[in-house]
Chains A and B, each alone.
Chain A
């Protein structure tokens, strides 16, 4: 029987950074394993959840999980953006980090079985979607068409190039890439992801979209998806907020009447629209 998923609530579990990978400028992937074998065994996640990661001596930050619940190395991909993530980027393999979680709701795979799935990501917005894409690939026959639309400022800002190459090698996975401005050697599209979405032919009835990226891109993509007739409750996104506890107690991540840490981070656009706050 599968062990019950019990989140680590108050005291972080110590983990070792086993490997560090440069992804794109300022973004690194940190592979980790828990020091206690029983935790390494019992730590199970759902796609779309997040953890609170402690950089000892610097503090804690919330970060989405890019790895799949099944047969995938545990890792986080983090952009160096504030004080704590800068301290994380100083770490070397062998250094220790602390982990609490996993927290949050995750993607609703049961509800979307049999549907066409469109993943739309901008820049590092692919990080929280990666886990879900891998899950779907592992259960490919449960779903209809599988499409990834991915855009970044330049070709050097596209995340997870190796993973994407692997995905492209699998059957029935359509990919579309775009960068903001032309570059020598770039054969793909040039422009914004919303333009690519506009060009897709999708049956509105049976399609679910996952959108993650900067707010401007998010809003532009939503507009296109709605023009295609995709229902607001079939558009999912995962939101970010300043978080301190992950448990629904500190209240920093409140949006409207919900808390991103327990009611999210995965929301439908229908929910987002009624929350009455900026994304």
Chain B
């Protein structure tokens, strides 16, 4: 464990910026919202800011992304296809533990299944990840229920924990080790581990009641979802509140459904783009000829919760698909963020 005093943070960031495009949380001047963004001005990095409204997944899995470009000359019948190179090294600094867990889920899903997703892999290579312990939870958070916070346990190159004066720095990789040596960080001393643990314990104990109460219920809900013991009425109740806006999917650190379209440009070239998609959209499963095997909204809606909480889906992520960031609850125009869905399932079980 190393020690990074508050005034040395810029040293770390500047060093990263030499080799990487740096991303991190910053406060938007106009809206006041915290966004996880490309930091063109490194001084805008705000490690004390609240959990950003958007997860960092877009850095690895952009909302709109060209994957190939091709030109087909009809006359000569000649095709040229070009793969689009994405190997820009990127550093993500100040990742909340939930968001880092989200990236690990995406890794396992895109890289660890039968096929490796080559597009994701290119983004994932040459990535530097620095997590930031949540020394206090934010009102929307329930990562204690989903085993994904408030501090990171794996997957980081460096991990920061704020003590009030500076940061305890945990090294998670050789890359991280090289960096702390390069910028000349000092060892944090023998009691640093205990100090970090104390900070995390205090954070855990100050979670909101809804999170603490839900802790056991999330696993009960997982069980029910997996075994299919949730009554159709519950799904209908949930489905009736869905506006099919897709916001929950877009702010979810682990939602990764995408659409692929060929977009024709002026001059005859075509871009094959992949864009975020959401299982709540009616057109998601619609086939040519207008046959749609999933019709009612509740039929589409329960897919998402199945994806976030069922055992079968957890096999793909090696953990639950929900990381407890609470963003879906924050953006949902209905009242069916994941914590509420768990509450509805809980009411069904207890008959409250």
Contact = CB atoms under 8 A, between A and B. Distances in A.
Interface string B10-31: 0000000000000000000000
Interface string B190-212: 00000000000000000000000
Contacts of B286: 242
A273 interface: no
B287 A12 contact: no
8 contacts: A12-B68, A14-B81, A54-B262, A81-B288, A96-B78, A257-B310, A257-B312, A279-B293
A61 B288 contact: yes
Contacts of A244: 258-260, 274
A85 B67 CA distance: 22
B68 A14 contact: no
B223 interface: no
A96 B118 contact: no
Nearest to B313: A257
A37 interface: no
B184 interface: no
Closest 9 CB pairs of A and B: A82-B288, A56-B72, A257-B312, A247-B115, A244-B260, A81-B289, A59-B262, A251-B257, A81-B288
Interface in A10-53: 10-12, 14, 16
Interface in B243-274: 256-262, 264, 270, 272, 274
Contact of A251 (B70, B79, B279, B288): B279
A252 B285 contact: yes
Contacts of A59: 260-262
A147 interface: no
A56 B113 contact: no
B217 interface: no
A81 B303 CA distance: 28
B79 A10 contact: no
Contacts of B70: 56, 98
A83 interface: yes
Nearest to A274: B228
Given A244-B259, A250-B259, 12 more contacts: A10-B118, A10-B119, A11-B81, A14-B79, A57-B270, A59-B260, A61-B288, A96-B78, A241-B287, A241-B293, A244-B274, A248-B113
Interface string A118-146: 00000000000000000000000000000
A244 B312 CA distance: 22
A226 to B, nearest CB: 22
A249 interface: yes
B257 to A, nearest CB: 4
Interface residues of B, number: 46
B260 to A, nearest CB: 4
Among B67, B115, B274, residue most surrounded by chain A Cβ atoms (within 10 Å): B115
A93 B215 CA distance: 63
B277 interface: yes
A276 B294 CA distance: 11
Contacts of B272: 60
B246 to A, nearest CB: 14
B231 interface: no
B288 A96 contact: no
A240 interface: yes
A252 B277 contact: yes
Q: Classify the interface of chain A: helix, strand, loop or mixed.
A: loop
A57 B72 contact: yes
Contacts, number: 109
A164 interface: no
Among B228, B287, B303, residue most surrounded by chain A Cβ atoms (within 10 Å): B287
A96 B72 contact: yes
A7 B118 CA distance: 13
A102 B44 CA distance: 48
Given A57-B264, A61-B288, A96 B77 contact: yes
Contacts of A61: 288
B181 interface: no
Interface in A246-276: 247-252, 254-255, 257, 262, 276
Contact of B258 (A16, A81, A250, A257): A250
A241 B287 CA distance: 7
A57 B74 CA distance: 10
B262 A58 contact: yes
B83 interface: yes
Given A11-B68, A14-B79, A247-B115, A60 B288 contact: no
Among B72, B81, B117, B228, residue most surrounded by chain A Cβ atoms (within 10 Å): B72
A204 interface: no
Nearest to A85: B288
B110 interface: yes
A7 B262 CA distance: 21
Interface string B73-117: 000011101010000000000000000000000000110011111
Contacts of A193: none
A36 to B, nearest CB: 12
Contacts of A11: 68, 81, 83
Given A85-B288, A240-B287, A250 B294 contact: no
Contacts of B67: 10
Contacts of B117: 247, 249
Nearest to B72: A56
A95 B113 CA distance: 35
B305 interface: no
B77 A249 contact: no
A278 interface: yes
A202 interface: no
A249 B258 contact: yes
Given A96-B79, A251-B279, A242 B115 contact: no
